[in-house]
């Protein structure tokens, strides 16, 4: 295929003109910079008429936009879809107006919803505080409760313009305790003898007795095994087996929470007897997944994934059942098997979660940080959003301020440039859900700014991921646009994307400036809300980029979110181009 390089103008060369855009690195006045007068505005059509439909061409032109066009076919001029609305939430709008582009938060925040946060006002407070995704954990609560939470989040989005996405997290075939007969917790003291049993009880749970959901439990454990509750928050030693009952002595005292996860260890490693053979997606999980599809959740996170096959199976199940099959599947990395098959699991998934709670119960704790770094980097390479989860601010379940160590842990995840951070118990049942969220927000903002300003982050070599020539074009455009954005210190990248793919490719580059992602559907807008650096807007747009840009500029200007003179780079998945321009 012919590759033609066209310079649509003679002199001065675009390269020379661009070199005049030398801004002070530390300039505070990043707004109101203007492209030099040598960049004269000319309509895109003047350039696009040079394009041949059968060839890919690179056209560098002084078209007033520093435009680089890479086109497979002539851009079509479709009728502008009627819409004078642009959908964005009040919090983003206020943030952009008050603080400008550069200071917007790049790291996304996921909150687990529970008894402490399920009311409409509480959910709204979380949205105001920066929640991008609400997670509901199918281990806890009833179907009705989950439905109510989903309805409230949806109402919040509709009434207040938020794009809070909903993530449903499956229970999975883990071993866990029963629900303590309605009690919110039970205290196990040092040396006490407790009975773990496969028998179940109603509200009449005998004292110091815990039911276990796994029928093979009493057969699989041995006297001398260590029993870990919640990955070691409380520990017991098995001292005697009597039929379905297992007597254990508490060796590390602590609070037992309802339905807490249980693992047992022998000679220093995790025992994986028959429970390792249990299916990743249990029959209860399939019913929950049907519920999630019917309710139109945005993400389904699968617990205790062991192989890529289960993800592929679930994705085809979803595709066959949901109309536009736009529910994305997140693989939770929380088992030994998931680490063994990491690359193929992530490749098959739409994203991943570093589920450190259970992971730390399956591998020695000191191995969790390196596993986290490996998962985060691999996800970035494979262009899959990644969430770092569990115990980020654990002490804030009880106290209004975090420990210094927790702040350092959050900083590390931000510095690794994970897409999102997640609150679990802190927001589900803690005393200070909003404070915990605000700690995540302020630490993210501070660390992002520090690393951006001091250029601390070493650029990551990104391997090519596209599987077709057409995809390669998008990937190259995004890589180049992100690089140009950094070099020219532009105020924002704009991306017009129907599927969201171009937006995620830009996000993958982790550019210095924020990425305004314009998309036509509310569901894509919600899903983009999990990805690093994307500010998703819903907007009807056409294939005519000139008109899209003009309309976007006037809509955003009218709402005070951008100003004349702001320097912007725009890309789109309709017209394969990179355009550099000042907001008129």
Ligand X SMILES: Nc1ncnc2c1ncn2[C@@H]1O[C@H](COP(=O)(O)OP(=O)(O)OP(=O)(O)O)[C@@H](O)[C@H]1O
- Binding flags for ligand CC(=O)C(=O)O, 329-348, as an x/- string (CB under 6 A): ---x-x--------------
CA dist 482 → 102, 485, 503 (Å): 15, 5, 11
Stretch touching Mg ion by CB under 5 A, among 349-357, 400-408, 552-560, 566-574: 349-357
> How far apart are alpha carbons 351 and 330 in whole angstroms?
5
Q: Which is nearer to K ion, 17 or 275 (CB)?
A: 275
Are 249 and 240 in contact, with CB atoms under 8 Å apart? no
Residue 367 CB, nearest approach to ligand CC(=O)C(=O)O (Å): 15
Least distance in angstroms from the C-beta of 213 to ligand X = 12
Judged by beta carbon, residue 89 or residue 288, the one nearer ligand CC(=O)C(=O)O is 288
- 390 belongs to the binding site for ligand CC(=O)C(=O)O (CB under 6 A): yes
Measured CA angle at 388 (ends 532, 446), to 5 deg? 55
What whole-number distance in Å separates Cα of residue 570 and Cα of residue 582?
A: 11
Q: How far is the CB of 304 from Mg ion (least distance, A)?
A: 7
Closer to ligand X by CB, 108 or 146: give it.
146
Nearest CA to 131 out of 152, 100, 102 is that of 152
Instruction: List the one residue from 228, 345, 355, 549 that touches Mg ion (CB under 5 A).
Output: 355
Which part of the chain contacts K ion (CB under 5 A), choosing from 1-9, 135-143, 157-165, 454-462?
Answer: 135-143
579 binds, among K ion, Mg ion, ligand X, none (CB under 5 to 8 A by kind): none
Least distance from ligand CC(=O)C(=O)O to the Cβ atom of residue 261, Å? 7
**Which of ligand X, Mg ion, K ion, none does residue 257 bind (CB under 5 to 8 Å by kind)?**
ligand X
Give the E-state strand segments of 397-448 in sequence order.
420-423
| CA–CA dist 531, 109 (Å, integer) | 10
Q: For ligand X, which is the closer residue by CB, 259 or 457?
A: 259
**Are residues 6 and 59 in contact, defined by beta-carbon separation less than 8 angstroms?**
yes
CB 540, CB 81: distance < 8 Å: yes
Task: Kindly state whether residue 430 participates in binding ligand CC(=O)C(=O)O, applying the rule CB under 6 A.
Answer: no
6, interface contact from Mg ion, ligand X, ligand CC(=O)C(=O)O, none, CB < 5-8 Å by kind: none
Binding mask 297-336 for ligand CC(=O)C(=O)O (x = CB under 6 A): ------x----------------------------x-x--
Which residue, 115 or 584, is less far from ligand X as judged by CB? Answer: 115
In the complex, what is the shortest distance from the CB of residue 137 to K ion, in angstroms, rounded to a whole number? 5
Residues 6+ apart with CB under 8 A from 243: 218
Is residue 333 within a helix (H) or strand (E), and if so which, with residue range? strand 328-333
Q: Give every CB contact of residue 281 below 8 A, 6+ residues apart in sequence.
A: 170, 172, 173, 289, 302, 310, 314
Query: In this structure, what DSSP letter does residue 51 have?
Result: -
Please report, as residue ranges, which positions from 461 to 490 form the binding site for Mg ion (by CB under 5 A).
none
Q: Which long-range contacts (CB under 8 A, 24 or more apart) does 402-406 make?
A: 402/436, 402/439
DSSP state of 343: H
Tokens of 28: 């505070």
**Buried b vs exposed e over 140-150: b needs ≥16 C-beta within 10 Å?**
bbeeeebeebb
Quick check: 39 and 17 in contact, CB under 8 A?
A: yes
Q: Is 358 in the site for ligand CC(=O)C(=O)O (CB under 6 A)?
A: yes
Residue 209 beta carbon to ligand CC(=O)C(=O)O: minimum distance, rounded to whole angstroms: 25
Q: Of 18, 60, 345, 389, which one interacts with ligand CC(=O)C(=O)O (CB under 6 A)?
A: 389
Q: List residues near ligand X by CB under 6 A.
A: 112, 114-115, 137, 139-141, 169, 257-259, 261, 303, 357-358, 424-425, 428-429
Cα dihedral across residues 170, 174, 179, 185: positive or negative = negative
Ranked by CB distance to ligand CC(=O)C(=O)O, the top (closest) residue is: 357
Rounded distance between C-alpha atoms, residue 565 and residue 154, angstroms: 37
| For ligand X, the closer CB: 137 or 474 | 137
Interacting span for K ion (CB under 5 A) from 58-66, 276-284, 302-310, 534-542: 302-310
At residue 188, φ and ψ (nearest 5 deg) are -105, 125
* Assigned token pair, 578: 């990179």
Q: How far is the CB of 289 from Mg ion (least distance, A)?
A: 17
CB of 278: closest distance to Mg ion in angstroms?
15
Contact partners, residue 360, CB within 8 Å, separation at least 6: 231, 232, 368, 390
Instruction: Enumerate binding residues for ligand CC(=O)C(=O)O (CB under 6 A).
Output: 303, 332, 334, 355-358, 389-390, 424
Instruction: Enumerate binding residues for Mg ion (CB under 5 A).
Output: 334, 355, 358
């Amino acid at each position: 295929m012919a590759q033609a390089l066209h310079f649509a103008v003679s002199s001065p060369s675009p390269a020379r003109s661009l070199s005049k855009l030398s801004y002070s690195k530390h300039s505070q006045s990043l707004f109101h910079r203007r492209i030099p007068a040598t960049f004269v505005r000319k309509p895109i059509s003047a350039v696009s008429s040079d394009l041949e439909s059968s060839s890919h061409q690179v056209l560098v032109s002084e078209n007033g936009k520093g435009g680089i066009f890479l086109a497979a076919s002539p851009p079509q001029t479709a009728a502008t879809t009627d819409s004078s609305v642009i959908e964005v939430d009040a919090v983003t709008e206020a943030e952009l107006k008050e603080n400008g582009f550069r200071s917007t938060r790049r790291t996304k925040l996921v909150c687990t919803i529970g008894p402490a946060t399920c009311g409409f006002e509480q959910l709204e407070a979380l949205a105001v505080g920066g929640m991008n995704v609400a997670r509901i954990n199918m281990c806890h609560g009833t179907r009705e409760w989950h439905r109510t939470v989903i309805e409230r989040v949806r109402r919040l989005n509709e009434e207040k313009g938020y794009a809070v996405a909903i993530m449903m997290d499956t229970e999975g075939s883990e071993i866990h305790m029963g629900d303590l007969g309605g009690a919110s917790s039970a205290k196990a003291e040092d040396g006490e003898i407790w009975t773990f049993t496969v028998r179940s009880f109603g509200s009449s749970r005998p004292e110091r007795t815990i039911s276990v959901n796994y029928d093979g439990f009493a057969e699989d454990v041995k006297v001398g095994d260590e029993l870990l509750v919640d990955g070691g928050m409380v520990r017991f030693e098995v001292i005697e087996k009597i039929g379905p009952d297992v007597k254990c002595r508490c060796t590390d005292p602590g609070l037992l929470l309802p339905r807490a996860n249980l693992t047992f260890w022998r000679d220093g490693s995790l025992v994986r007897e028959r429970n390792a053979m249990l299916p990743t997606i249990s029959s209860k999980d399939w019913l929950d997944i049907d519920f999630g599809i019917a309710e139109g959740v945005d993400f389904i996170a699968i617990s205790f994934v062991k192989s890529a096959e289960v993800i592929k199976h679930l994705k085809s199940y979803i595709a066959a059942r949901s109309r536009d099959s736009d529910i994305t599947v997140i693989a939770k990395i929380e088992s030994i098997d998931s680490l063994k098959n990491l690359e193929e699991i992530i490749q098959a998934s739409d994203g991943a979660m570093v589920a450190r709670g259970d992971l730390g119960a399956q591998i020695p704790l000191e191995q969790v940080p390196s596993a986290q770094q490996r998962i985060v980097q691999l996800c970035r390479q494979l262009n899959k959003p990644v969430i770092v989860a569990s115990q980020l601010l654990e002490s804030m379940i009880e106290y209004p301020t975090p420990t210094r160590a927790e702040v350092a842990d959050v900083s590390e995840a931000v510095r690794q440039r994970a897409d999102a951070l997640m609150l679990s118990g802190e927001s589900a049942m803690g005393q200070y859900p909003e404070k915990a969220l605000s700690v995540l927000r302020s630490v993210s903002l501070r660390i992002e700014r520090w690393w951006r300003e001091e250029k601390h982050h070493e650029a990551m070599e990104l391997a090519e991921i596209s599987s077709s020539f057409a995809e390669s074009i998008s990937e190259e455009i995004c890589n180049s646009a992100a690089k140009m954005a950094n070099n020219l210190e532009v105020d924002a990248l704009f991306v017009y994307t129907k599927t969201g793919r171009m937006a995620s490719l830009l996000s993958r580059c982790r550019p210095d400036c924020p990425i305004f992602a314009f998309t036509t559907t509310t569901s894509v807008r919600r899903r983009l809300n999990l990805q690093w650096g994307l500010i998703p807007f819903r907007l009807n747009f056409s294939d005519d980029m000139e008109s899209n840009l003009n309309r976007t500029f006037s809509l955003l200007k009218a709402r005070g979110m951008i100003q004349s003179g702001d320097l912007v780079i725009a890309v789109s998945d309709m017209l394969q181009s990179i355009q550099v321009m000042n907001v008129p």
